[in-house]
Amino acid sequence: MARIVSNFFISLDGVVERPDQWHFPYFDDEMGAAVGRGVERATAFLMGRKQYQDWAGYWPNKADGDDGGFAGFINSVPKYVLSNTLTEATWRNSTVLSGDSVAARLREIKERSEGEIAMSGSATTVRWLLANGLLDELRLLVHPIAVGSGQRLFEEAPTYPLRLLSSETFKSGVLNLAYAPA
């Protein structure tokens, strides 16, 4: 049975929006290795509509080269898109999941799959997964910076008790934390 694992770059004050504006000064070999391990375990990828549209406009046009192999991975791996407005997915190996039975369909996908169904970003989707008992692990790369504004991971969300699975401190001061629903 597959596990749904979400990955976030997150600031100390909980901001997950626009990490490209604050994340890169902290990216180093340690963080690259942690991100790489997540990609290695992924057998599928899950995303919300907005992320799908952003990535589908970028990654299909990229060759698998200087990006550490991510283009080859994301273009070939099965992708599941949660959306109530998107009617079709044109990016290779993409399936749109919509309607009232999304949670049930996602449970079926988990049952018939193995490995990890990875996510990167999509705070709204993560909150929905937690509310529906579908998220198995939340991995956070907590950056030692207070961004001040932007969407927060748990902005106006109910209480979700979590259990720490692992923690690691990088030389950059970034914390690599993994949690599961308690």
pLDDT tens sequence across 127-172: 999 999 999 999 999 999 999 999 999 988 889 899 999 999 999 9
The tokens for 48 are 């919300």
Domain 3-181 grouped into CATH 3.40.50.2300: no
pLDDT at 66: 54
pLDDT at 175: 97
| Measured distance CA(54)–CA(62) in Å, rounded | 14
Three-class secondary structure assignment of the chain: CCEEEEEEEEECCCECCCHHHCCHHHCCHHHHHHHHHHHHHEEEEEEEHHHHHHHHCCHHHCCCCCCCCHHHHHHHCCEEEECCCCCCCCCCCEEEECCCCHHHHHHHHHHHCCCEEEEECCHHHHHHHHHCCCCCEEEEEEECCCCCCCCECCCCCCCCCEEEEEEEECCCCCEEEEEEEC
The tokens for 62 are 């990229």
List b or e across 115-140, with b for residues whose CB sees 16 or more CB atoms inside 10 angstroms. ebbbbbbbbbbbbbbbeeebbbbbbb
Banded pLDDT at 121 (limits 50, 70, 90): confident
Domain borders along the chain are: 3-181
pLDDT tens sequence across 77-101: 999 999 989 888 899 999 999 888 8
